[in-house]
Structure 1
Amino acid sequence: MPFPTYAETVLATDASTVHAACTEADLTSTNALPLHEHATSVWWLPDVDAVARISPGEMRADLERTISVTRWLVDHGFPATAPLPVDQPIAVNDSQVTFWRYYRPPSPLPAAELTAAALGQMLRRLHDLPAPDVQLPVYRPLAGLGDLLTADTTLPAVDRDWLQSRRVELLEEYAGIESALGVGFIHGDAYPGNVLWHDTHALLGDWDEVALGPRELDLVNTHQGARVGRSAAVRRRFTEAYGWDMTTWPGFGVLREIRDLHTLGSFIRRAERGDQVASDELTHRISTLKAGDISAAWHIC
């Protein structure tokens, strides 16, 4: 009998985690189906019109804050994805599980330009809000990557050392940046991939990195997406909708490269779990970064 593949092993583990969390939350998981697996695993629970998100166990405090912030946002009329009214997160072995309302996407999905415009409008609205009545951390760029590199056992030492050195250099440059938009309540991981559509309405999801920080951090990710094929037209619609062009701001290059490094985190985690596709992409991304190639194409995988 052949050994299970990486994907089969992850699927079986995640299915067990979802069923255990649903049992504790008194939710039906009989027909649960996987939707997405990257930094987190997302499962659809069709019997209760919800999704379950599986996150690393060390994220419990972040997830508690995420639940509180999104409930506050929904109560204030902001189009954030809504957590289910259950006690959460729920710990299952070395994971934390949260439950969210499921938003059935329209078919076909809106054009990329419309999604980018919707994101720009939502971020403009978010940045005009007061901070919620929740204790928010100060945004710490590349903190998670630093922890991963310290514990990493899969990267070649020369790559790990280069990333650690470049991370320190970028953080020194970040400390000298003067924000044009000011410091305030930020999403922390805003980009078009975190926009969900429900009928004709856009919502903003994935609030795990919500914090206090320079508002430019919420804008740079969409521009950095040129790496994975996000067109100039899409980025222009985003800029127009938000109402300010951050690419003309002196700190843009530093934040863009910080985002470049930030994207490596999920690939390092996947590579450590034996995902060869992620490992190959990680190698490619690091090689282009070391070469100083800011326009090299990266792959979504």
Structure 2
Amino acid sequence: MVIEVRRTEVGVDEANELLNQAGLPNLNSMEILQGGWDNTNILLTLIDASKVVLKVWNANTIEEVGRVVARHCHLDEHGIPTAVPIQLANGSLIAEKDGMAWTLLPFIEGGMLGTDENSLKSLGETMARLHQIPAADFFPDDYRMGWSLFEEMFVIADETNTWSDFLITLKKESKSLRNQIPEGLPQGILHGDVFPDNVIGDGSVTAILDLEEAFIGPCAFDLMMAFVGFGWNEDEALTDRWNTLLEGYESIRPLTQDERSALPALHRYATLSIAAWRYWKHVMTQPDEALKKRYLEMVHRLEQQIDF
């Protein structure tokens, strides 16, 4: 049995080698897990029926993976539910193969967190706790899907003469939003991509995954990103979901008046960031006929006015 990963292959012998390094039983079967656009997650069922996840980090350098793993460890140390790689015999949490990082993660039972009242309240509470833990050097100040990505896209558009209607709108909107979002808002460690495929749970948060986009920024931005990820039903914003998410959040960390005033602009920035990432990914850098219009979901949301 061989499972093809985007830039390499994972065979039984290779999987067993890593399992042996972790002191785990040998492999019984492999199954690709859904989710994720770059790196590949493979569910390994072992001969004793236990399960772990093999993650092949196709899209990140070894150094980058080290920083991401350090972020997961930091959250875990401060009581935020997440997944920390299983330690190998040499004491490392990361194995290197063919220039890429491989990690073994505990398999966490449960699917993506739902949008029911208990789930959203738990998500709000968990995010508020996350935003209050101490900062660390391996969390950057730059948001990879935000202002810096926008500027990169503008450079590409200039160099390739591909200024589309969306890019023109993005430039106009980003300039306006920079003026609307005040400096000095309370800062904390943010996840940056709070969507259902990054949160496992059933009625409450079991684990927050995928900290590649995590950074130090305004706490209220992360709350609005969670609303972008969890608060909509197709093209309709659901205020009851927002109220429940906010209730959970403020039970741990009440928003300041400045944060409340900035919510509409922060929501617009979060929505624009997802639209921009999708456009950059599926239109500009890795054109995909099936996904090239995916950014329009977020563009259409920008047309709606929401009372926060």
2:207 counterpart residue number: 203
User: Residues 34, 275 of structure 1: CA spacing in aligned structure 2 closer, same or farther, 3 A cutoff?
Assistant: farther
Which of 242, 246, 249 is residue 239 of structure 1 equivalent to? 246
1:127 counterpart residue number: 131
- In the superposition, the TM-score normalised over structure 1's length comes to 0.72
2:261 counterpart residue number: 250
- For 2:7 and 2:44, the matched residues in 1 are separated by 11
The answer to whether residue 61 in structure 2 is matched with residue 63 in structure 1 is no
- The Cα offsets for residues 250-274 of structure 1, whole Å up to 9 and x where unpaired, read as 2222222221222131454245545
Offset of residue 169 of structure 1: 0.9
Offset of residue 70 of structure 1: 1.4
CA RMSD in angstroms comes to 4.0
What secondary structure sits across from 1:185 in the alignment? strand
- For 2:303 and 2:68, the matched residues in 1 are separated by 35
The answer to whether residue 294 in structure 2 is matched with residue 294 in structure 1 is no
- The Cα offsets for residues 20-49 of structure 1, whole Å up to 9 and x where unpaired, read as 974774566673222224433432222362
Offset of residue 91 of structure 1: 5.8
The answer to whether residue 272 in structure 2 is matched with residue 261 in structure 1 is yes
- For 2:14 and 2:221, the matched residues in 1 are separated by 33
Correspondence list, 1:164-179, <5 A = 165-166=171-172, 168-170=174-176, 172-173=178-179, 176-179=182-185
Unaligned stretches of 5+ residues in structure 1? 1-10, 297-301
The answer to whether residue 139 in structure 2 is matched with residue 136 in structure 1 is yes
Report the number of matched residues: 279
Identity of aligned residues (%): 16
Offset of residue 156 of structure 1: 5.0
Correspondence list, 1:1-301, <5 A = 12-14=4-6, 16-19=8-11, 22=15, 25-26=18-19, 31-40=29-38, 41-47=40-46, 49-55=51-57, 57-58=59-60, 60-86=62-88, 87=92, 89=94, 96-105=101-110, 112-132=116-136, 134-140=137-143, 141-147=146-152, 150-151=155-156, 156-159=162-165, 161-162=167-168, 165-166=171-172, 168-170=174-176, 172-173=178-179, 176-179=182-185, 182-197=186-201, 202-225=206-229, 226-229=231-234, 231-243=238-250, 244=254, 249-264=260-275, 265-266=277-278, 268-271=280-283, 272-282=285-295, 284-285=296-297, 288=300, 293-294=303-304
- The Cα offsets for residues 184-240 of structure 1, whole Å up to 9 and x where unpaired, read as 222232344422127976222222222221111220112224455463222221111
Higher strand share: 2
What secondary structure sits across from 1:45 in the alignment? strand
What secondary structure sits across from 2:127 in the alignment? helix
Higher helix share: 1
Offset of residue 75 of structure 1: 3.2
Offset of residue 120 of structure 1: 0.9
- For 2:300 and 2:281, the matched residues in 1 are separated by 20
What secondary structure sits across from 2:290 in the alignment? helix
Offset of residue 104 of structure 1: 1.6
What secondary structure sits across from 1:251 in the alignment? helix
User: Residues 227, 31 of structure 1: CA spacing in aligned structure 2 closer, same or farther, 3 A cutoff?
Assistant: same
8 Å CA contact 2:82, 2:209 repeated in 1 = yes
What secondary structure sits across from 1:223 in the alignment? helix
Offset of residue 97 of structure 1: 4.3
1:4 counterpart residue number: none
User: Residues 170, 192 of structure 1: CA spacing in aligned structure 2 closer, same or farther, 3 A cutoff?
Assistant: farther
